[in-house]
Chains A and B, each alone.
Chain A
């Protein structure tokens, strides 16, 4: 008793409470700053882009005349690229994650692989562009095609999908795996019927978020030789293509004011696509959220 001086505790009380309030204020300030920037951005894009936004803008090809220009080729190009990227990255990513989590022995080598996967997630996208150019465009002779672009994008988002899937698989409790093994299930049956379904919501959320990153990427496809001016839609996997961000980049780099407006309209479309994809991710997460 008497080790604590009640008087000094009382004296310090005021400054502790003040610091508490100050901390709260700081965090609100940080949030407001980001919200403000986002608000300004959205306001600017909407005021510039809305006047040009119409059905024609979506269904027209790019043109030298701003009033006739549209994003049809870029929009379909983006969809084609996603159609290649989504299945390839999902299958490879989830497969890798299942191997690393369920089968691989925890030794120095797998640890090394693990660290490298995490590092790859942070490698600049242009590096993946160069990799794709070397392997898919030149070595495999695919040219600047939808297939080459989609595969390059798959490589880009693969590490993110692997890490997200691993996290999801790790949240499946040991108890329910044991229950499955305890009934004589094989490892594969346990993975297929218990672990994978339980981890799927987390895996899908991670995959969709990674895909929406790919939708917005420009650099790797520029390196691959995606075209900036395209007046046709891709017909098959070996067609040339452009995507939305490249089209937008092309428009913003032109001197005429009207093209800047067009770019703003394109950004609205791109943001709507991203918003839809992220909403799907949130929906899946909430709907299939598992309580263990």
Chain B
């Protein structure tokens, strides 16, 4: 693009650093001359623009009618199908869209084509004048003087003290928003009740699971026995107690010391609540024996006691110790040996409590 014939040194460079402000600048030529539009000079064009605006407003009327027809003519009786609702939604939406866009585009077109488009210049005024400032200072001084607050420090100090304390009840009154956490997060429904071990049952119907039903490679979503019969706090209990049950080749499990008896014949049960922020770890990759949380992709390896092998979780999924009862059903031999779900400040304390 350039022309090298000039041969002169670099012209396009900048002026060096400082002193630039002293260099003469281009003068502001002022507002450019106004250009007339076609509709300003040609009455035919103006008439055409007028018609266009009227047509747009007319479109709006049609849109309103479409809405009303769609609202009253389409009946949502007891036997409505999704298709009817979709049709009505589409027509109501299109009606509204045309009603609004007709008015909107009509007005804007009117403004742009027919209203004067002279740009005008207006002076800005000082946001604050010195005169106002001085007057304000005098007023404030007078006010302070009249209250006498400077001369009477006792009044000022007691007022400050009173005002500082007054919001405390406003804070305290929110104290009953919730109960104290206490040890609620340390326990789940899996704890044996009255010496009776809880059976592992299917989510959501609550039927117990026989060990012989769990074939190698299969996985079950599990809830504790009795959960569905709860009347209060069912979801609270479910949010802590859900478990994934899987059966692997027993040789691929590598139980650590003390956990050898927590599985049965290659069947293992792990908490389904992610130790990251609590999503259900719902994806089981049968081939790799990985559990994946669909929310933030934490990945746990079943063959390493659900150790974190990828993603944002930092702790393995808690394991539920299981066995088989006399009738061949899977049962939990105890509650989880650590709190389930996301970490919290008192978690370590609770874990020590459970194991003590």
Q: Does A pair with B?
A: no
List residues of chain A with CB under 8 Å of any chain B CB. Answer: none
List residues of chain B with CB under 8 Å of any chain A CB. Answer: none
